[in-house]
Amino acid sequence: MPLLIHYSGLDKQSFLDYLKEKGFTVKPFAAGLHLVDYPGERKESLLDRFAELDKHFLRHLRLAFVPDEGFLNHRDNLIRTLLNLKTFDKLVEEFTVYQRDEILKSLYPVFQPIVDLKGFEIYAFEALCRGKLPIYYLMKFAKPILETIDWTCREKALQKKKEEIPPPIKIFLNFFPESLQNVRLASEKLFSLLNKYKISPKEVVVEITEYSGFDVQKLKELVQEWRKLGIMIALDDVGRGEDSLFRFLEIMPDIIKIDMVFIRGIHKNKVKRDITRYLINLAHANDMLVVAEGIEEPDELRVVYELGADLAQGWLLGKPTEHPRVYLHTPIASRLRYWI
């Protein structure tokens, strides 16, 4: 199903050439309009292809799906299509809402191990969400249904936790701003799910993943309440951007996750080692645990261990899986000792 597009930027020819370089078929239609398709791709896949394009080009784009070129040969169809041309963001938002039920049914959790570098055992699993469309894509383009998506992912993760992850191994649950706009409702929903699956709050780590959009004061109140009931609080991407350190100071979490930009290649970069050492020392001075995430090489693991990181996460230690129990029978201790 092709797209009828209108491009309003001055660099129109550059954009059309760019589309062709990316593998799209581009056919002039009329009055500055073009039909664009990608061989063999379905509707949602075509949108995925556009989402990967340079954002500069997307700002000048208006587009609409059409059944085929012949559809536009009828005057009424052409007029309706022209009136229906939308920005890329709006088109994707409408498309995801239209597919709401299908998207929700497609969601499923995967789990990545977080390893204790002191006890050489699995400390927790981070629950991640997968589906027919990438979560980052839904976060950007499916705002009207994002809260429903978020809670659906969370419930499926807790159900799998009950089935395959025994205590005291914890589960990290990601929380986005949309799910915490009403903090009282969020608290009720979370504890309702914990009661439903008979999971202790002490087995849960709430991971704050996106900072923009949070009401800091409300979040602080919620964090204090949850912490009293046994839930631990983690901040993701600490060190990336001034906002993360501000949240660090405001919330004072139980766990910080050092952004992987500082971990990748840390064995070859003194500045990364210095920044990571500082964050670890700051966290430990305030009784916080530290997760070094994004570890892909034994040398990276060795350095973060020597710097004092408490926990580690990354593909070297385990890729996300639908069946976390497979890691419970992996001789992780011997592998860690060998690498470190």
Range of the domain at 236: 102-339
pLDDT value at residue 271: 97
* Residues 168, 273 share a domain: yes
Q: What is the 3-state secondary structure (H, E, C) of the chain?
A: CCEEEEECCCCHHHHHHHHHHCCCEEEECCCCEEEEECCCCCHHHHHHHHHCCCHHHHCCEEEEECCCHHHHHCHHHHHHHHHCCEEHHHHHHHHHHHCHHHHHHHCEEEEEEEEECCCCEEEEEEEEEECCCCHHHHHHHCHHHHHHHHHHHHHHHHHHHHHHCCCCCEEEEEECHHHHCCHHHHHHHHHHHHHHCCCCHHHEEEEECCCCCCCHHHHHHHHHHHHHCCCEEEEEEECCCHHHHHHHHHHCCCEEEECHHHHCCHHHCHHHHHHHHHHHHHHHHCCCEEEEECCCCHHHHHHHHHHCCCEEECCCCCCCECCCHHHHCCCHHHHHHHHC
Q: Are 231 and 293 within one domain?
A: yes
- The pLDDT value recorded for residue 242 is 62
Q: Tell me: the pLDDT tens digits for 3-17?
A: 999 999 999 999 999
Assess whether pLDDT exceeds 90 at residue 165.
yes
CB 125 within 8 A of CB 113: yes
Residues 8 and 71 in one domain: yes
Please say which residue of 47, 64, 98 terminates a domain.
98
The answer to whether the beta carbons of residues 5 and 61 sit under 8 Å apart is: yes
Does 229 share its domain with 296?
Answer: yes
Looking at the structure, do residues 150 and 122 belong to the same domain, yes or no? yes
**Is residue 334 pLDDT above 80, yes or no?**
no
If you count them, how many residues does the chain have? 340
pLDDT of residue 337: 77
Average pLDDT over residues 228-240: 89
227 and 127, same domain (yes or no): yes
Is the per-residue pLDDT at 160 higher than 70?
yes
Query: Which residues are within 8 A (CB) of 20 and not within 5 positions of it... i.e. 6 or more apart?
Result: 26
How many domains does the chain contain in total?
Answer: 2
95-114 average pLDDT score: 90
Q: Output the 3-class SS for 193-246.
A: HHHHCCCCHHHEEEEECCCCCCCHHHHHHHHHHHHHCCCEEEEEEECCCHHHHH
pLDDT for position 312: 97
Return the pLDDT at 127: 98
Q: How far apart are CA 241 and CA 246, in angstroms?
A: 9
Q: Are residues 334 and 200 in the same domain?
A: yes
* 286-296 mean pLDDT: 96
Tell whether the model's pLDDT for residue 64 goes beyond 90: yes
Show which of 98, 126, 150 is a domain's final residue: 98
The pLDDT value given to residue 88: 87
> Residues of the chain with pLDDT > 90: what percent?
61
- Among 62, 81, 98, the domain-final residue is 98
What average pLDDT does the segment 244-262 reach? 87
56 band by pLDDT with thresholds 50, 70 and 90? confident
Write the burial class of residue 41 (CB in 10 Å: 0-12 exposed, 13-18 middle, 19+ buried).
middle
| Average pLDDT of the chain to the nearest whole number | 89
Do both 43 and 129 map to the same domain?
A: no
Tally of CB atoms within 10 A around 148? 15
Give the Cα-Cα-Cα angle 132, 136, 142 (nearest 5 degrees). 75
Own/partner long-range contacts of 76-80 (Cβ < 8 Å, ≥24 apart): none
pLDDT band (50, 70, 90) for residue 243 = low
pLDDT at 210: 63
State the CATH number of the domain containing residue 290.
3.20.20.450
Look at residue 333 and tell me whether its pLDDT is greater than 90: no
Q: Dihedral through CA 105, CA 208, CA 44, CA 91, nearest 10?
A: 120
At 208, the amino acid letter reads I
Does residue 124 register a pLDDT over 70?
yes
Residues 129 and 79 in one domain: no
* Whole-number Cα distances in Å, 339 to 118, 119, 194, 254, 305: 14, 15, 37, 27, 10
Asked if 157 and 203 sit in the same domain, the reply is: yes
63 and 172 assigned to the same domain: no
Q: Based on the number of CB atoms within 10 Å of its own CB, is 4 exposed (0-12), middle (13-18) or buried (19 or more)?
A: buried
Same-domain status, 75 and 201: no
